[in-house]
Structure 1
């Protein structure tokens, strides 16, 4: 395989963009493991009292990820996220005003390999969510498993990430003061196994639980599509029924986490690595649907299919 190296005279801003994406990738793939190891080492060291105090805090704070989380505007506004945005680049397109007195569920498609568009748009202020939708607070839902990891849970909550359990979603969309946005990657982790350039396979069948909660609590449904999300990584061929796909499905059923074998480019060369390709991501939302209308759940779910077929 011929290796295509990056030129030496790349502008500093592009190197900073690559560094920003590299730290984001690290936070997705290895930060949780590092935080867990750091906590264990702290507990076994002479500073064990610090670990004990944190464990007590963890016990008291256990339900926070399912009770709206703990956002930090300071973390969401870090300049590193602006470099992250410009790497692709990433844009958030507003198509309609949303009333800040209401609660919303954003049905996000497609999941992609690492939900780069969902993270950049709703867990940071790099694309100006608060400016485009004043009075609304976005929360990206993530598997509950990650909120059990010491230290890591506190970091991801700063960006607005919350647990994807039913009680967490209910808490967000039932607040009488309104202003909450729950962002759900509807296809879930299993959709990541089909994410590859030039392909668009969405998991929408039997994914109606969030619609029932919207109907129950009177939240508005907003279909959101992130164009370019699947173009960021290549993935090993894993068609349905293949040994690799069978193994991936089995591991997902046990662990609850999908394990796509993806690859893209490297830091100093463009031929192989885990850094995503520089592909534009444009995230759009369509008009919201009121759950107070007499629309059956099955019909409401077709809003997503109709919207995504406009690719």
Structure 2
């Protein structure tokens, strides 16, 4: 394989953009493990009392990730997120007004490998969420496992990440007075195994828990499609039925985590590495679907709203695909 090296003379702005994305990839792939090692080392040194006190804090603070977390406007406004945004770049597109008197569930599609669009748009202020949607506070739902990691949990909560358990979502969607947004990557971990350039496969047909949640809380439902999300990384071929896919599916069921074998570019060369490609991401927020509260929704109620949601999601994609570089002949594959 011939390696394509990056030019020596690259503007400082672009180098800072690469650095911004590098720290994000590190945070996503290794920061939790580093925090865990640091905690263990504290226990084994003269600073063991600090670790013990932190364990006490973890116990007292155990419910925070499920009760809208502990966000920090300062962290969400760090300059590094502007460089992160401009690397791709990421653009948040508004198509309808959202009344802050209501709560909303944003169904985010596709998951992609590292949900870059969801993070950039809803865990930072780099794309101007607060200006585009005044009065609304977004929360990105993440697997509860990560909120058990010492120190790491504090960092991710500061950006607006919260636990994806039922109590957490209900706390957001049932908040009195409205103004809260729960962002859910509907396809979840399994969908990341289909994330590769050109893929338009969404794992949504059997995903109905979010529908039941909005029916019980009366929150409005909003489809969100992130064009370019699947263009950021290549992935080792893993078609359904292959040995690799069978192993990945088994691990996902056992651990709750998908392990896509992805690759893209490096820091100083463009031929291999774990940094995403510089591909534009356009995250399009659709129009809200009104939902009448139903504390005991029937199977038919859930199926009916699920169909409406899928129809609106397809309309959102079809109505915007030509603007963002998708061929007219391309269509979503819902599985």
Distance 2:253 2:20 in 1: 32
Q: How does 1:2-151 map to 2 (within 5 A)?
A: 2-151=2-151
Distance 2:39 2:309 in 1: 43
* Deviation (angstroms), 1:309: 4.5
* Deviation (angstroms), 1:19: 0.3
Alpha-carbon distance change, 46 to 111 in structure 1, aligned in 2, over 3 angstroms: same
Give secondary structure in 2 for the equivalent of 1:141. strand
Distance 2:256 2:318 in 1: 28
Stretch deviating more after TM superposition (199-208 or 231-240): 199-208
Gaps of 5+ in 1: none
Alpha-carbon distance change, 154 to 2 in structure 1, aligned in 2, over 3 angstroms: same
1:299 aligns with: 307
Gaps of 5+ in 2: 295-300, 322-335
* Deviation (angstroms), 1:200: 1.1
Q: Deviations over 1:9-58 (max 9, x none)?
A: 00000000000000000000000000000001001110111111110000
Q: How many residues align?
A: 311
1:199 aligns with: 199
2:267 aligns with: 267
Stretch deviating more after TM superposition (90-99 or 10-19): 90-99
Q: CA RMSD of the aligned region, Å?
A: 1.2
Distance 2:135 2:218 in 1: 18
Give secondary structure in 2 for the equivalent of 1:162. strand
The question of whether the paired residues in 1 share the 8 Å contact of 2:97 and 2:287 is answered with no
Give secondary structure in 2 for the equivalent of 1:194. coil
Q: How does 1:126-275 map to 2 (within 5 A)?
A: 126-275=126-275
TM-score scaled by length of structure 1: 0.98
Distance 1:188 1:197 in 2: 18
Distance 1:293 1:34 in 2: 44
Q: Deviations over 1:35-93 (max 9, x none)?
A: 00000100111011111111000000011111101100000000000000000000001
Give secondary structure in 2 for the equivalent of 1:120. helix
TM-score scaled by length of structure 2: 0.91
Distance 1:183 1:19 in 2: 27
Distance 1:192 1:306 in 2: 23
